[in-house]
Structure 1
Amino acid sequence: MAETKDKAPVPQPTKDFNLEKSLHKAEDFFYKNKNVITIAVLAVVVVVGGFFAYNQFVKQPNEKKAQEMVFHAQNYFAVDSFKLALNGDGNNYGFLQVAGKYGSTKAGNLAKYSAGICYIRLGEFQKGIDMLKSFGANDLLLQPTAYGLIGDAYMELNKTEEGIDFYKKAGHYNDNELTAPVYLFRAGMALEKAGKSQEAIAIYKEIKEKFPLTGEGREMDKYLARLGEVRN
């Protein structure tokens, strides 16, 4: 008697799935919704294509133009000719023109920062504040410095509370040792001026704890002692 061998079971199509019917459903869905689908696809193409076109034909050329325009202003700024740096010399643009025309570029954004400094150095503190507030950068040094300069300008205008707020904002932007202890210290001094000794003590203790090796950190015992906080 011949031996019977087991055969691998042949998969049978399930009753729940019908390929032909499923394809028809997909086609029906497309034809019923082809206008919406086509518009959606075109929208993606336009957005992606527009993004690359904008970068290639608008953003990059504008960045280059802004860098070229700002060159002479930077040279005037370097030699403390702040009026010329700010307004230009009649032949070349100043920071204000670059910021106004190309403010959305990196060079134009930095022109706002430089223009703010020019205004402050020229004693036009409110204009400096407004310009520096329009500047924005995810930079560990420039952004806290901008906040600190706004604090300086407010103090010059005898707006101590506003000055304190921006000194704290500068000091707490990040914990780097170049800007944080400097502006926290200014916040402490401004708080003393405002008669808020306890808040000043808290700031001085924070400097001492976080930045003990900086020039400000090493001086904090002296300022704390002046406010009655004697080191044990």
Structure 2
Amino acid sequence: MATYKKRGYKPKTKQEKEEVVEENSTTAEVFNTLDEGASKAEDWVVTNQKYIIGLILVVAVAALGYLGYKKFVAEPKAKEAMNEMYTAKKFFDDAVSGISRDSLYTMSLNGGEGKFGMLDIISEYSGTPAANLANYYAGMSYLNLKDYKNAITFLGNFSSEDKMLSSVSKGAIGDAFVQLEQPEDALGYYEKAFKASENELTTPMYLMKAARVAIDLNQNQKALDYLNRIKTEFSKSTEATKADVLIGKAEASL
């Protein structure tokens, strides 16, 4: 059993003296081990200091390089890409307005008046926000030109933190799959579309589209769930006025 010894305590017996000598020896050994470890660490640092300094310099240069690239390369490139996309977007906007639609959608894709089209922006400015947005415009152009496979490809390459735009792009992929007579895929994308953004415009629209496809797939209970949600949550929408007919059709098929 260990006993507590007061400061200044002097061993009296031979056994106590031996214990003190052993304790002092053990303590000295511990400190010697620590000193040796510290010495070895210092030696390692001295021996490898040029490598350590090199590693620090590599990390510092990489950080500065990234900041420099972002400021002097990435940001100017992104700005240039948006400027180059202006004419292609104008062609797209004019096509949406109904003026020579097919030719304008084609010009939006391939360019015109000596300016880049959306496909050029995607190729020349890969990785920029403009190239990402160009995927959306290209996909929608192909959808309107009835090139549904390319529509799916380019819309699939588009991503956005804007919930409304994300919803519309997924819904458009659903539309393309409907035209390709792939209803299961269409239903999946319509469901993604109404889940991406809840609002009075796109949510009831894609719920209705999903319900119609679900009825065609004989998934009538799912169709009823979507139609009843339209009537309950979006009662003022255009889709709500059409829901009763489809509800009757779905219920009759259960």
TM-score range, shorter chain: 0.7 to 0.9
1:120-199 equivalence runs, <5 A = 120-199=143-222
Distance 1:35 1:184, change over 3 A: farther
Sequence identity, in percent? 31
Shifted more, 22-31 versus 166-175: the winner is 22-31
* Aligned 8 A contact 1:120 1:153 in 2: yes
| One-letter amino acid of the counterpart of residue 176, structure 1 | N
Matched residue, 2:56: 41
1:105 aligns with 2:128: yes
How big is the shift at 1:25? Answer: 6.9
* Aligned 8 A contact 2:81 2:131 in 1: yes
Residue segments in structure 2 that go unaligned for 5+ positions in a row: 1-27, 96-103
SS in 2 for 1:91: coil
1:227 aligns with 2:250: yes
Give the number of equivalent residue pairs: 215
Report the Cα distance in structure 2 between the residues aligned to 1:47 and 1:209, rounded to whole angstroms.
56
CA RMSD of aligned residues (A): 2.8
Looking at secondary structure, tell me which structure has more helix per residue: 2
Provide TM-score, normalisation by structure 1: 0.80
| One-letter amino acid of the counterpart of residue 45, structure 1 | A
Shifted more, 42-51 versus 163-172: the winner is 42-51
Matched residue, 1:65: 80
* Aligned 8 A contact 2:215 2:250 in 1: no
Report the Cα distance in structure 2 between the residues aligned to 1:92 and 1:217, rounded to whole angstroms.
45
| One-letter amino acid of the counterpart of residue 132, structure 1 | L
How big is the shift at 1:97? Answer: 0.4
How big is the shift at 1:194? Answer: 2.3
Report the Cα distance in structure 2 between the residues aligned to 1:143 and 1:84, rounded to whole angstroms.
24
Distance 1:49 1:228, change over 3 A: same
Residue segments in structure 1 that go unaligned for 5+ positions in a row: 1-14
Distance 1:48 1:198, change over 3 A: same
How big is the shift at 1:146? Answer: 0.7
Matched residue, 2:7: none
Distance 1:26 1:96, change over 3 A: same
Which of 44, 51, 67 is the equivalent residue of 1:52?
67
How big is the shift at 1:36? Answer: 4.6
Provide TM-score, normalisation by structure 2: 0.74
Greater radius of gyration (CA) = 2
Report the Cα distance in structure 2 between the residues aligned to 1:56 and 1:133, rounded to whole angstroms.
29
How big is the shift at 1:218? Answer: 5.8
